Structure 1
Amino acid sequence: MTERATDEPVFADPQLASRLRLAVGRLNRRIRLASNDVPPLQLSTLVTVEQHGPLRQGELAQREAVSAPTMSRILAALDERGLVLRTPDPADARSTLVAISAAGTRALREIRSQRTALLDARLARLTPDERAALLAALPALESLVTED
């Protein structure tokens, strides 16, 4: 992408951008639907707790960009399933800290394994040359998801 004098983005190849967006979006949707045991927002919250926990509910709501009542419902569902642990916050007795439980860690491992297996099965349908092309493209794809 290059910039014009008016700061409007100019795409080097709009067809590439469009096709890549559709392919990645559809593939992501198929992978997500294959292991829908944990709803998307609950799963996202669980991953955030795994990566950044233990966290206060307010901080978790902020990281997930949801309201406090929505986060309360998400955490109640995760807690009911035994996927998170809530403990009193030693710095503030009115607050609790949310951490991932052993069951939550196992659930994430299983979901990731299922999703990897699904993608692996789809990759197996490709020719060796197509798989090699994807392997060669991985550094470029990975650079698309890094923060600016």
Structure 2
Amino acid sequence: MGTLPREPAAGDESISGISQTDLTRLRMTLGRLGRVLRQQNDDGLSYALVSLLFAIHRMQPVAAGDLAASEGVSPPSVTRSLNRLIDIGLVLRLADPSDRRTAVISLTPAGELERQQILRSRENWLSEHLSRLGGDDVAALLAAIPALEQLCDPALE
């Protein structure tokens, strides 16, 4: 942060008024930041299991097929991951009260606690690292939040 947008270099194509070089830097930086934040849990759960844990929280109670669609993976893959989460006590699979032939998935209290600890760990990391920046850089990041939220809006896709 703290630098002004640079002039496009010779041969640097512009996309939406942003140079290709700056667009690449932004993509790589946001991707790297996302990866670093996702790694801020020291419980040994894989990215796929943590992602599934968060999806269950958002959608619960939810059928395994709906989780598979939400996560963009095959039903057998979700079943394996669900079985792992059930085995470690983070998730519960119960008969659907409206259709006893199917099952719904929910977080256990331990699963909810795990989710909260992961979030806390990520926020602690972010807070610590933001404190290393100058006030102007923090203000610039905070000012960018609405634009970044718009980029994440599914209506824009």
Q: TM-score when scaled to structure 1? A: 0.87
More moved, 86-95 vs 107-116: 86-95
Q: Residue 55 of structure 1 aligns to a residue in which SS?
A: coil
Q: Residue 140 of structure 2 aligns to a residue in which SS?
A: helix
- Compute the displacement of 1:15 (Å): 2.6
Match of 1:11 in 2: 16
Counterpart of 1:43, as a letter, is V
How many residue pairs get matched? 140
Q: Does 1:69 align with 2:90?
A: no
Contact preservation (8 Å) 2:40, 2:118: no
Q: Distance in 1 between matches of 2:148 and 2:84?
A: 34
Counterpart of 1:58, as a letter, is G
Give every structure 1 segment of 4 or more consecutive aligned residues whose post-TM-superposition deviation is greater than 2 Å: 90-94
Match of 2:9 in 1: none
Contact preservation (8 Å) 2:49, 2:85: yes
Q: TM-score when scaled to structure 2? A: 0.82
Counterpart of 2:89, as a letter, is G
Counterpart of 1:22, as a letter, is M
- Compute the displacement of 1:84 (Å): 0.9
Match of 1:79 in 2: 86
Match of 1:35 in 2: 41
More moved, 135-144 vs 107-116: 135-144
Q: Residue 48 of structure 1 aligns to a residue in which SS?
A: helix
Q: Residue 133 of structure 2 aligns to a residue in which SS?
A: coil
1:6-51 CA-to-partner distances (Å, cap 9, x unmatched) read xxxx432123321111111111112222215221111111111111
Q: Distance in 2 between matches of 1:62 and 1:36?
A: 27
Gaps of 5+ in 2: 1-14
Q: What percent identity do the matched residue pairs reach? A: 37
Residues 34 and 71 of structure 1: CA distance in aligned 2, closer, same or farther (over 3 Å) = same
Q: Residue 82 of structure 1 aligns to a residue in which SS?
A: coil
Counterpart of 1:110, as a letter, is Q
- Compute the displacement of 1:68 (Å): 1.5
